[in-house]
C-alpha cells in the first residue's frame, strides 16, 4: 500500500477537522498532507500526527502544484462545483462531502458497507452521501440483501452540528439565556441559524421546502437511497427534524420487506454486519442514544427492533450514529481506503 499525497479542502470546518483526525486514527498512508480553506482561515495551524500544518488558501493550481492524489472536500457545494472538476482534470481523485455531484449519473455515490463496487466507476469525483442516508443504509443493507425492502418511512432527529459550528454556538447561547432568563428569555431570543430557538424545541424542517412540500434534506434521503441500492422502484418517505442535541443523529425507521423478516432474524443479520452494533434490550433500557453513542464513534447503532403490528412484512427500528464521523468524515476516508 503506497503512501499518498492527500489534501483536505475545508480543513477548518467541523467535518474537515474530523477528516484530519480520522486520517490519523485510521493510520491512512499519508505521504504529505495539505490543508486548504478560505482566505480568512489562511495561516491557521492544525495538528496531524503531532505536527502543525499550516492552512493554505484554496486556489486553482494547488492540485497540480502539489501533485495531490486524493482530496477530501468538505467546503460546501459551491466550492465543490468550482474546484472539484479542476482537481479531477489535474489527476486528483476528489471525494466530495457536499451535495454538488451526488445525483450526477457519472459520479459514484458510495457507502463502503453498502455499494463499495461503485467506486470503480469514478471519473475523478466520488460523492459522499448525506449523513442521514449513510447511517440508515448501513443498517438496512443487510436486511435488504436478505429480503428486498419495498418501502422505507424514516423520521430523523438531527443534531445541530449537522448545520455547522454556528448552529452549535446558537444552541449553547440559548442554554445560557435560559439559565439566566428562563422560558421568557428563550421566547424573546432571536436566532440567526434556525427560524426558531432550538433549545427546548424541535424544528420539523431541515433545508428549503420544495414544490412537493418535502424539504431538500428529505428528498436527499429518497433519491440517494434509490441510487446506492440501484433500486429506482423502492418507495421512500422521510421527515427530517432538528433537535437540541449537539452531536449524533437519530432515526426512527419503518420498513416493509418482500418476504417476512422477524425481529430475531433482523438482529442476527445486523449483528454480523460490518459497521453495525446491535443494542436491543428495551426491558433493561439497552438501546442507542446520541449522547452515549453519537460522539466519536465509528459504528451505526441499532435498537428497538420490533415487528410492525400494522402490516404483514414490516419492521421498525431505531438508529443512531455520529453525524460528523460516520455521517461524513469516516465515510469519506473509508472511500479513500477503497481506492487503495
SS3 content of the chain, % helix, strand, coil (to 5): 35, 25, 35
Whether 258 and 148 have beta carbons less than 8 Å apart is answered as: yes
Give 230's contacts (C-beta < 8 A, 6+ positions apart).
115
Give 81's contacts (C-beta < 8 A, 6+ positions apart).
100, 101
Nearest-angstrom CA–CA distance, 224 and 339: 21
Sheet containing strand 249-257, strands side by side: 235-242, 149-158, 249-257, 314-321, 300-307, 276-278
- In terms of Cβ atoms closer than 10 Å to its own Cβ (0-12, 13-18, 19+), residue 192 is exposed
Rounded to a whole number of angstroms, the CA Rg of the chain reads 20
Hey, what's the torsion of the CAs at 248, 291, 9, 45, to 10 degrees? 170
Of 64, 63, 75, 74, residue with least CA distance to 22: 74
Nearest-angstrom CA–CA distance, 86 and 254: 42
Whether 124 and 93 have beta carbons less than 8 Å apart is answered as: yes
Residue position matching grid coordinates 460490518: 274
Q: List active site positions.
A: 131, 249
H helical segments located in the chain? 14-25, 62-65, 77-89, 131-146, 165-187, 216-229, 263-271, 290-293, 330-339
Amino acid at each position: 500500500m503506497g503512501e499518498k499525497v492527500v489534501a483536505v479542502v475545508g480543513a477548518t470546518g467541523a467535518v474537515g477537522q474530523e477528516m484530519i483526525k480520522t486520517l490519523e486514527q485510521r493510520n491512512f498512508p499519508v505521504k504529505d498532507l495539505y490543508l486548504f480553506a478560505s482566505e480568512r482561515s489562511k495561516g491557521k495551524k492544525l495538528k496531524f500526527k503531532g505536527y502543525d500544518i499550516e492552512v493554505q488558501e484554496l486556489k486553482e493550481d494547488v492540485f497540480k502544484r502539489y501533485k495531490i492524489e486524493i482530496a477530501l472536500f468538505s467546503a460546501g457545494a459551491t466550492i465543490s462545483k468550482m474546484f472539484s472538476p479542476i482537481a479531477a482534470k489535474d489527476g486528483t481523485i476528489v471525494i466530495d462531502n457536499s451535495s454538488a455531484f451526488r445525483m450526477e449519473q457519472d459520479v459514484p455515490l458510495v457507502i463502503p458497507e453498502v455499494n463499495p463496487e461503485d467506486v470503480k466507476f469514478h471519473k475523478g469525483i466520488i460523492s459522499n452521501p448525506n449523513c442521514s442516508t449513510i447511517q440508515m443504509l448501513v443498517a438496512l443493507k443487510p436486511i435488504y440483501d436478505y429480503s428486498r425492502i419495498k418501502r422505507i418511512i424514516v423520521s430523523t432527529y438531527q443534531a445541530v452540528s449537522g448545520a455547522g459550528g454556528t448552529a452549535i454556538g446558537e444552541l449553547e447561547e440559548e442554554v445560557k439565556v435560559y439559565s439566566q432568563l428562563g422560558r421568557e428569555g428563550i421566547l424573546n431570543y432571536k436566532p440567526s441559524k434556525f427560524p426558531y430557538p432550538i433549545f427546548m424545541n424541535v424544528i420539523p424542517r431541515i433545508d428549503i421546502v420544495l414544490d412537493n412540500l418535502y424539504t431538500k434534506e428529505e428528498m436527499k434521503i429518497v433519491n440517494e437511497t434509490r441510487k446506492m441500492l440501484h433500486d429506482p422502484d423502492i418507495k421512500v418517505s422521510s421527515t427530517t427534524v432538528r433537535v437540541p442535541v449537539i452531536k449524533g443523529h437519530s432515526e426512527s425507521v419503518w420498513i416493509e420487506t418482500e418476504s417476512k423478516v422477524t425481529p430475531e432474524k433482523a438482529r442476527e443479520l445486523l449483528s454480523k454486519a460490518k459497521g453495525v452494533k446491535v443494542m436491543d434490550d428495551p426491558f433493561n433500557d439497552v438501546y442507542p442514544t446520541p449522547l452515549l453513542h453519537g460522539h466519536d464513534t465509528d459504528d451505526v447503532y441499532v435498537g428497538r427492533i420490533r415487528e410492525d403490528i400494522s402490516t404483514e412484512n414490516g419492521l421498525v427500528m431505531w438508529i443512531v450514529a455520529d453525524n460528523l464521523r460516520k455521517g461524513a468524515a469516516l465515510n469519506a476516508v473509508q472511500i479513500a481506503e477503497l481506492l487503495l
